[in-house]
Structure 1
Amino acid sequence: MSSTEEIYDSPIWQPFTQMKTAPIPLKVVKGQGVMLELEDKRQIMDCISSWWVTIHGHGHPILAEALYKQAQALEHVIFTGFTHEPAEQLARKLLQHLPKSLRRVFFSDNGSTAMEVALKMAYQYWFNQGESDRTTFISFEGGYHGDTIGAMSIAGNSPWDQPFHRLMFSTELVPFPATFDNDADVEVREAQTLEILTRLLKQNPTRYAGLFIEPLVQGAGGMRVCRPQFLQALGNLAHSFGVLVIYDEVMTGFGRTGELFACLKAETAPDIICLSKGLSGGCLPLAVTVATEDIYRAFYSDDVSKTFFHGHSYTGNPLACATGVASLELLEQNPNFRNLEQQHRCYLKKYLPDHPKIDKVRTCGTIAAMDIVTDSQSGYFNAIAPILKQRFLAEGFLLRPLGNTLYLMPPYCITSEQLESIYQAIRRVLDTII
């Protein structure tokens, strides 16, 4: 039986995978720190934190202990009409680190759902105040906010959204002023985007409910970076027209940009922020959507029809919340994420200076990214991605390029020597494809 037939016969349908042509999935039996152990005893270094969630590394004893203790007390309870200490504690700890204007925490269980909550919350905020014509959202080209219909609708024409366009609602898309190291034209692109936005808002000042953006770094769209100065100007512009600003920090939250949250690094305060991925340290599905008091008050009423009718069976799960508290305490006590950008820059300069196969190098906190130069068009379906993925696996590294964009997003427990070994492997692999 061929490898493709073996995958086809498996009962598991894997995400983002063409099951007919994909290689046989590797079976992982154990994770420890930055390393994964496969069934055949091979060791693979997890250079992308397993889709950006295991911020402290695998098998962290403090997270495991928090999960174990909570499981002995309360594994789950309905979260409407009831509450529990892990959720209360996590909400209060989060608010201590977020901009002071963000005061109300709504729990859910994944990033896409956190975005759906924000969409509904932003629209109903206006609806409850009699402004039901504010039905349109603004978002950015290249953005990615999840895989539900609503989250796809506010994305920036992602290539995997094509079959669903007839189901999606329309959104105003504006250019994302992506930048990179030594970019001389970034201010021009920022000004152009702000001009487009200003024109839209002036033409229809009461049409827009909110503006969605991944602050500082667009993730799945290719690790595209923007500057804090742009986010500051963007927030001022949107608020001058009364439009809500919604930050998708599902990926950028919990240290990824070099600060605990991108909004802190950019010195901005959104009206709504969505958090997930690293929220539980990679242990369990967990998400929150945090809003200002002003938004909350639009729902706080004697009129039951103004209720925010949204929820899920696992909303505020105690096990997930307990690991979230432990994860946040680890970030408070061990802020190693603040040191990784300097290390990235050091190894980029040491191993990949002016490499002919690399273009548009960019770094932001714990994230480093670069475009691989190929003869094909840049983008998610660039044929270099599966080639690089297999080459790196053969070297013992889990790197999962986004098309021709190669990026690193390691767990914060990675040592300087381990990080250096990734850059050494990148150099070796790139030298073989020249």
Structure 2
Amino acid sequence: MQKELNKAYLQERDKKHLWHPLKQHQTHPESLAIVKAKGCVLTDENGNEYIDAISSWYTCMFGHCNPYITSRVNNQMQTLDQVMFSDFTHEPAIKLSENLIQILPNNQNRIFFNDNGSTAVEAGIKMALQYYFNLDEKRSTFIAFENGFHGDTFGAMSVSGLSVYNGPFEDFLMEVKRIPTPNGNNHQEILNKLQEIVSKNKVAGFIYEPIIQGAAGMKIHDATGLNKILNFCKSNNILTIADEVMTGFGKTGRNFASDFIETKPDIICLSKALTAGLVPMAITSCTEKIYEAFLSNEMAKGFFHCHTYSANPIACAAANAAIELLQTDEIQQNIATISEAHKTFKTKIEKHPKVKTARFLGVIFALDLDTKMARYGSLRDKLLAFFMERGVFLRPLGNTIYIQVPYVITKKELQKVYNTIEESLAIV
């Protein structure tokens, strides 16, 4: 009876005990209750529908509750649900390693399991540090891009450059030197800065988001310049770590953003679309050379980093199914179709007087509003409410409105997303 009288029944129950991430509960106490998701559509407790135009933080790239993936997971649940991965192995993990090695850059050969994007990065940072430790060479400094974002654990926070997330913890973080992203005109400036950093510091690694910085506002940087940076690192024996948590598994139009770059990373961090958003899992892959540095008769030279749910069989089953779908002609054609639609929309919307710039790559589209606005401020809240009222879930990053739609979105749904963004410019 209470549920019938109160249309926000779940929303009210939520407020009693839950603490949501990236949220100031004092000023924003409400959280919309979602009861169902299918394809590209989220449904709330009152029956309202919303197109999930950011694939629930870039995870559900094959749509919500994809029957191909859920059936595979259901079958796995009947056979093997969980077993510790320190002393045992199993076929879903073995198969996933084989599937990943087939599509990862060809220098990758080892797969290490984690729980999420932050822990994938954390493992990558620890691999780089211990690699040199095992070689009796202490290196403690990392190089990272300005405005990068790599996660919320301490190592990941250290190499991130967005103080809105890391401000209270900056006094406790690792030593990191920052460089600008390459824009096509500043290659030599960056190389000069790198030379200065290397001359004064013992650098273990360079961590970067290849081609696109996600949390910075889907900023696209120059592939040629990034390749020069990676070559510099190689020539100075600095390990390179590609954070492909956001960009991986087809979002850029290729399997990985690193596929746009000639020089490949030593370590790659993966999560989000890895399991198609169905269950949490992450992976840190690396070259055989890095792996071999941990082989020793000394136990302490092994990689003592572990997660309870490492290589969970159910998550592995989801990931295997997702990789199979990614490689189908249908999904590849869908990615190409969405990218072409983004190109058409960009040509139109970038002429709008309230749009400063627009860009796209693969299924990722972003525009910058020609106005200053806080990352979490009143105008951002106004835009978010506008989108939701019209049945589209978009989550602006400051003055950047971005799209990262599921590969299975229909033309009608995608057009509604475009129309809603265009209409929103009237309130800016």
Normalising by structure 1, we get a TM-score of: 0.93
Q: Shift of the alpha carbon at 1:306? A: 0.6
Q: 1:267 to 1:10 in 2, by over 3 A?
A: farther
User: 1:187-218, CA deviations, whole angstroms, 9 ceiling, x for partnerless residues?
Assistant: 223332232113222444xx000000000111
Does 2:380 align with 1:343? no
1:307 & 1:120 partners in 2: Cα distance? 12
| Superposition pairs of residues 2-401 of structure 1, within 5 angstroms | 9-22=15-28, 24-132=30-138, 134-177=139-182, 186-204=183-201, 207-333=202-328, 334-335=331-332, 336-350=334-348, 352-374=349-371, 376=372, 380-401=375-396
Q: 1:72 to 1:7 in 2, by over 3 A?
A: closer
- Retained in 2: the 8 A contact 1:35–1:44? yes
* Matched letter for residue 355 of structure 1: H
Partner SS for 2:184: helix
* Matched letter for residue 80 of structure 2: L
- Retained in 1: the 8 A contact 2:350–2:357? no
Partner SS for 1:221: coil
1:158 & 1:359 partners in 2: Cα distance? 24
- Retained in 2: the 8 A contact 1:357–1:373? yes
- Retained in 1: the 8 A contact 2:245–2:269? yes
2:350 & 2:172 partners in 1: Cα distance? 46
- Retained in 1: the 8 A contact 2:187–2:228? no
Q: Shift of the alpha carbon at 1:424? A: 0.9
Q: Shift of the alpha carbon at 1:267? A: 3.2
Partner SS for 2:132: helix
- Retained in 2: the 8 A contact 1:255–1:338? no
* Matched letter for residue 210 of structure 1: G
Q: Shift of the alpha carbon at 1:8? A: 8.5
User: 1:341-362, CA deviations, whole angstroms, 9 ceiling, x for partnerless residues?
Assistant: 2210112223x14111111211
Q: Shift of the alpha carbon at 1:136? A: 0.5
* Matched letter for residue 188 of structure 1: N
- Retained in 1: the 8 A contact 2:184–2:222? no
User: 1:129-186, CA deviations, whole angstroms, 9 ceiling, x for partnerless residues?
Assistant: 0101x11100011100000111100111431211111221221111123xxxxxxxx3
2:189 & 2:418 partners in 1: Cα distance? 36
Q: 1:365 to 1:191 in 2, by over 3 A?
A: farther
Partner SS for 2:274: helix
Q: Shift of the alpha carbon at 1:379? A: 5.3
Unaligned ranges ≥5, structure 1: 178-185
1:387 & 1:19 partners in 2: Cα distance? 17
* Matched letter for residue 287 of structure 2: T
Q: Shift of the alpha carbon at 1:81? A: 1.3
Partner SS for 2:186: helix
Q: What is the aligned length? A: 417
- Retained in 2: the 8 A contact 1:138–1:212? yes
* Matched letter for residue 215 of structure 1: P
Unaligned ranges ≥5, structure 2: 1-5
Partner SS for 2:57: helix
* Matched letter for residue 247 of structure 2: T
- Retained in 2: the 8 A contact 1:7–1:24? no
Partner SS for 2:118: helix
1:340 & 1:265 partners in 2: Cα distance? 19
1:235 & 1:20 partners in 2: Cα distance? 44
